[in-house]
Structure 1
């Protein structure tokens, strides 16, 4: 079963394409309360919209969704650094003032807030709370809760929240149900990001250490799902709140949050997780391996028709997936070494072994989208943006760069020869079968992997065989979830698996992923440790651009810098999603442009016994 996207890729920019005219007109208009806010132009949906275009307002309530997750957890607080938390909890808990549409590059509509108002230059933003907004215990969501949440998350919460709060000059109550944030930085995205901070209940945390909580305290939230049962490391179960305040009040949620029960089961490895799906203990499974999809989904529940397979399109960037090199370590600071390790990574052979050659490779961080760097030399505004940094950046970020391609054979002779040449240029040669420097020190590093990831282990095993042809023998360390989180938070690795999903509206999160200031923040997301004035400047440009052309050029220039920087060994891109599921689990025919993305499953799904 294949669904159609609601918007063709040529129309992705309907929210951005108006920027050259609409945003200029908006600059001269008086600020007034609105039902939504867009990064460029106006929201696509009018103030009186009834439901999201990709939601089914007639979906029945009931049923359950059970997912399989490899690993474990030791915390139920997704808003802090401490502990290992299931990734999906932060999307299911802690509603925000505004909510993001998956059918527009970056547009928010009112959720806890009934309206939003912002300055012409977006130097401040003001939200007015809905009088109906309630926490799950029935208490009202107040301006006091909002201010406490911003201040606490901004000072004690996860780094993803602290970066934003550092750009807030002040936050103050301006009315019985209204709150205003004023910014200290020119950044047009801040007005939107302000609407996406989770709002928590202040009174719950009186006398409790917010940043130290784990399994002992479940955050009280206003969301439609409440954690009702769990067993540490085994499962988490959330139940739909039938008295959820948003039903019949908020147009955005009409047709969303239909399933009665969401249950996350945890397993020690991918094999056990898949076996649970095959016997029906789990009823939905997202498959990333095309070879497995075509050869191993013939089990009884599939043959009987009780389970089905769905292929779902999307039009978002590929993001970056692969194995990241930690440039904080001396052996990865020379770009020639990183280039050599990229040449030794025999993707074509690995892809054939793992997927039958069916999965296309990620070619850049924003590949599969209009934001991707263009082939060949930089031109126009992209060149103009990069030229001031020409002496600081890789030469081929301007002249043009593409990933090395092998002949597909196991020996990968040409690329191995090129890798040896690059290592020699960097001061490393093979001596008695071992890659060493002039001081006789062997070149080596540690590859850190999370237990249970058999696919990553298989890829690394093949890569290690290639490295041995260079006289390099890395150490492979496999650890459990808790140890993995602890070590990656402390950047205690040489190379590790890496995934950063990117959207059609890149913004402040780019500073978290690869900004200089984030490189030394414990628990941060800049795992590669890159510190680049040019990268910082491109992120700043895309945040302050007032036209589509400048935004597009800044993002394409950023893509060039990241890709040509050789920080990651990229693997596959997934331009579709493959989800196998119980036939009673349904979703709308119309897909949003973001496709299978947080906010889509389980949000728009429902259960149909018929």
Structure 2
């Protein structure tokens, strides 16, 4: 995946030869160390027992089914409730940072900077469709979900000892809408408002025709800021001053652009809540920053940090042969990943006229020879991505559209390519692995460009209406050079004036924020339960949102309608069918050049950790920052050997 941008979330990187930038579209992506997993994947809602006057009151919410845990559960099943506290977890981050404010447009926020803030509800690592009370002990809502009332814990306090109240929740909603990243306007579009009924009761009211299934989760996942603190601090300004929050960690040390660490609060008000038992085990969470992946790996070998997930196939296959590993002081292993693997690919910027014709986009995609790359560069470790929900058999479209998909697609037929209805779900053609310049693939691509009016001129380059067909691939990841350069070679063989422009992380961030690119590599973590958050990736309303996630510039009324159908699905079956229909349409539109995936985690770490599982982690996360712990006996063994 790609490294985190403005929203600071735990590293979830691509199953790739080198990491790209991970983007997540849930507005509060709390690090797993807090017990929350509000990434793109966890947009969930409530069900429960119907109370009087059709009002449901419960300790948590679930999208379609029942909650796994009842109101008096002691802890989540996947944790070790007796896990010791102490020690340090350390990992790495790409690029640089200049801010501890992850919710605003200014600055580049440090990894982990959302650790400062709690939310009303929190998720877990095994239920993609469920959330349980954190700051809120219960919630109530009508069966039609047009509003929700959260009943808050009076014991919740900010790190300065001040009380956390409903007025802080209302302030948080208002300030994100007014001064937060522009995408919050889209995220909150179906919320009428928030009001404090009393000091510990807050109500959110939703538009009756909004995406009501999603809005309980949206409100429950709101990061809560101190109203009093921001009376003297401008929320919209980037800063390295640690904010006042109610979360489990405080700032420990910050070396701007180089490293950041957080220390666990011994006085954290929620440390004994069932949702936190067996979690928040490390005294310190630390992230070291590096400008390239080679230096980050060399630093890992030298002991600069203790945990690494490896995304570079060549490094994994050939470079994990060094003394600490060979002497048994370090562990190397592969663990299964139960999530959809994400949408990693080269994304076209369809805001530009030259990419309006889908034949052009399809042709340019044919020039990427995955099979050659996988054999020559990736040691055969990856499979070709074709779906936006790769690695999810229930959400990934396949074959011809069945009757249940057609029932959704036919009324929207005017908005979509005819191939959606007449051909099997698009899968990239297989190229020859022995020859980068697969002539058969390039001939087919050239024919598509001819049909689109891009003719080869005397100089061997393609022109249309006097304009040259150019393509700049923007890249700030040195490890991608050896992937992009062969792709550029093939594009030039097609007559495309293609260039690979490698820039630093700051320039890449700024250009992507303002959609100043032809093509970028990006991966989004897709949900097991998609909903209204899809608008941020594919919706017309977000096409011009500065700093948003609509990388392709999709502006299609039919896609908007499909997203509405998904967001308002009344059952898991309805949802799955609608998501497969959307996947089918997006693939037929050729909005990206799909790259590759791997449904597992390649990890290495210093042998100082314990964890509550052996071979199979919870389906939604390895949980290294939340449910792992520091094992002092192991650490002492390494100290005795001079390895720590």
The question of a shared fold, defined as TM-score above 0.5 by the shorter chain, is answered with yes
**1:381 to 2:421 alignment:** no
1: CA distance between counterparts of 2:50 and 2:585? Answer: 33
Which residue number corresponds to residue 152 of structure 1?
175
Q: Residue 172 of structure 2 contacts residue 225 of structure 2 at CA under 8 Å; is this kept in 1?
A: yes
Query: Which residue, out of 221, 226, 233, partners 1:208?
Result: 233
Query: Which residue, out of 393, 396, 404, partners 1:370?
Result: 393
Q: Identify the range of structure 1 (396-405 vs 179-188) with the bigger mean alpha-carbon deviation.
A: 396-405
Which residue number corresponds to residue 536 of structure 2?
512
Q: Identify the range of structure 1 (600-609 vs 458-467) with the bigger mean alpha-carbon deviation.
A: 600-609
Which residue number corresponds to residue 311 of structure 1?
334
**1:445 to 2:471 alignment:** yes
Offset of residue 63 of structure 1: 0.8
1:499-551 per-position Cα deviation (integer Å, ceiling 9, x unaligned)? 11112011222110111100111111101101111211111111111122211
Which residue number corresponds to residue 130 of structure 1?
153
1: CA distance between counterparts of 2:549 and 2:81? Answer: 37
* SS in structure 2 of the partner of residue 212 of structure 1: coil
1: CA distance between counterparts of 2:549 and 2:432? Answer: 34
Offset of residue 579 of structure 1: 1.3
Q: Identify the range of structure 1 (331-340 vs 25-34) with the bigger mean alpha-carbon deviation.
A: 25-34
Which residue number corresponds to residue 26 of structure 2?
none
2: CA distance between counterparts of 1:287 and 1:256? Answer: 24
Q: Residue 48 of structure 2 contacts residue 56 of structure 2 at CA under 8 Å; is this kept in 1?
A: no
Which residue number corresponds to residue 621 of structure 2?
595
Query: Which residue, out of 214, 220, 232, partners 1:195?
Result: 220
* SS in structure 1 of the partner of residue 174 of structure 2: helix
Gapped regions of structure 2 (runs ≥ 5): 1-41, 634-644
Query: Which residue, out of 244, 260, 275, partners 1:252?
Result: 275
1: CA distance between counterparts of 2:299 and 2:563? Answer: 43
2: CA distance between counterparts of 1:304 and 1:530? Answer: 52
Q: Residue 420 of structure 2 contacts residue 584 of structure 2 at CA under 8 Å; is this kept in 1?
A: yes
Q: Residue 84 of structure 1 contacts residue 481 of structure 1 at CA under 8 Å; is this kept in 2?
A: no
Q: How many residues align?
A: 583
1:24-173 mapped onto 2 (5 Å cutoff):
30-90=54-114, 92-173=115-196
2: CA distance between counterparts of 1:324 and 1:302? Answer: 38
Which residue number corresponds to residue 183 of structure 1?
206
Which residue number corresponds to residue 442 of structure 2?
416
The normalised TM-score by structure 1 is 0.92
Which residue number corresponds to residue 469 of structure 1?
493
* SS in structure 2 of the partner of residue 320 of structure 1: coil
Offset of residue 86 of structure 1: 3.1
**Closer/same/farther in 2, CA of residues 294 and 41 from structure 1, 3 Å limit:** same
**1:404 to 2:429 alignment:** yes
1: CA distance between counterparts of 2:375 and 2:111? Answer: 30
Q: Residue 381 of structure 2 contacts residue 598 of structure 2 at CA under 8 Å; is this kept in 1?
A: no
1: CA distance between counterparts of 2:145 and 2:522? Answer: 34
* SS in structure 2 of the partner of residue 155 of structure 1: helix
Which residue number corresponds to residue 347 of structure 2?
324
**Closer/same/farther in 2, CA of residues 27 and 143 from structure 1, 3 Å limit:** closer
* SS in structure 2 of the partner of residue 251 of structure 1: coil
The normalised TM-score by structure 2 is 0.87
Offset of residue 176 of structure 1: 3.4
**Closer/same/farther in 2, CA of residues 422 and 94 from structure 1, 3 Å limit:** same
**Closer/same/farther in 2, CA of residues 153 and 371 from structure 1, 3 Å limit:** farther
1: CA distance between counterparts of 2:252 and 2:359? Answer: 53
**1:428 to 2:454 alignment:** yes
Q: Residue 485 of structure 2 contacts residue 500 of structure 2 at CA under 8 Å; is this kept in 1?
A: no
2: CA distance between counterparts of 1:355 and 1:186? Answer: 42
Q: Residue 158 of structure 2 contacts residue 245 of structure 2 at CA under 8 Å; is this kept in 1?
A: yes
Query: Which residue, out of 574, 578, 589, partners 2:598?
Result: 574
Which residue number corresponds to residue 7 of structure 1?
none
1: CA distance between counterparts of 2:610 and 2:405? Answer: 44
2: CA distance between counterparts of 1:114 and 1:516? Answer: 37
* SS in structure 2 of the partner of residue 188 of structure 1: helix
Q: Residue 67 of structure 1 contacts residue 264 of structure 1 at CA under 8 Å; is this kept in 2?
A: yes
Query: Which residue, out of 605, 608, 625, partners 1:584?
Result: 608
* SS in structure 2 of the partner of residue 460 of structure 1: helix
Which residue number corresponds to residue 454 of structure 1?
478
Query: Which residue, out of 405, 410, 414, partners 1:391?
Result: 414
Q: Residue 364 of structure 1 contacts residue 372 of structure 1 at CA under 8 Å; is this kept in 2?
A: no
* SS in structure 2 of the partner of residue 591 of structure 1: coil
Query: Which residue, out of 207, 227, 244, partners 2:251?
Result: 227
Which residue number corresponds to residue 531 of structure 1?
555
Which residue number corresponds to residue 4 of structure 2?
none
**1:548 to 2:568 alignment:** no
**1:493 to 2:517 alignment:** yes
Q: Identify the range of structure 1 (142-151 vs 46-55) with the bigger mean alpha-carbon deviation.
A: 46-55
1:65-105 per-position Cα deviation (integer Å, ceiling 9, x unaligned)? 11122200111100111111235433x23111000122112
Q: Residue 28 of structure 1 contacts residue 120 of structure 1 at CA under 8 Å; is this kept in 2?
A: no
Gapped regions of structure 1 (runs ≥ 5): 1-15
1:89-148 per-position Cα deviation (integer Å, ceiling 9, x unaligned)? 33x231110001221122000111111111101111110111111111111111111110
Q: Identify the range of structure 1 (222-231 vs 419-428) with the bigger mean alpha-carbon deviation.
A: 222-231
1:447-503 per-position Cα deviation (integer Å, ceiling 9, x unaligned)? 1111xx222222111101111111123232222222211111100000011111112
Q: Residue 318 of structure 1 contacts residue 573 of structure 1 at CA under 8 Å; is this kept in 2?
A: yes
Q: Residue 47 of structure 2 contacts residue 61 of structure 2 at CA under 8 Å; is this kept in 1?
A: no
Q: Residue 80 of structure 2 contacts residue 278 of structure 2 at CA under 8 Å; is this kept in 1?
A: yes
Q: Identify the range of structure 1 (273-282 vs 558-567) with the bigger mean alpha-carbon deviation.
A: 558-567
Q: Residue 371 of structure 1 contacts residue 504 of structure 1 at CA under 8 Å; is this kept in 2?
A: no
* SS in structure 1 of the partner of residue 334 of structure 2: strand
* SS in structure 2 of the partner of residue 202 of structure 1: coil
2: CA distance between counterparts of 1:31 and 1:592? Answer: 33
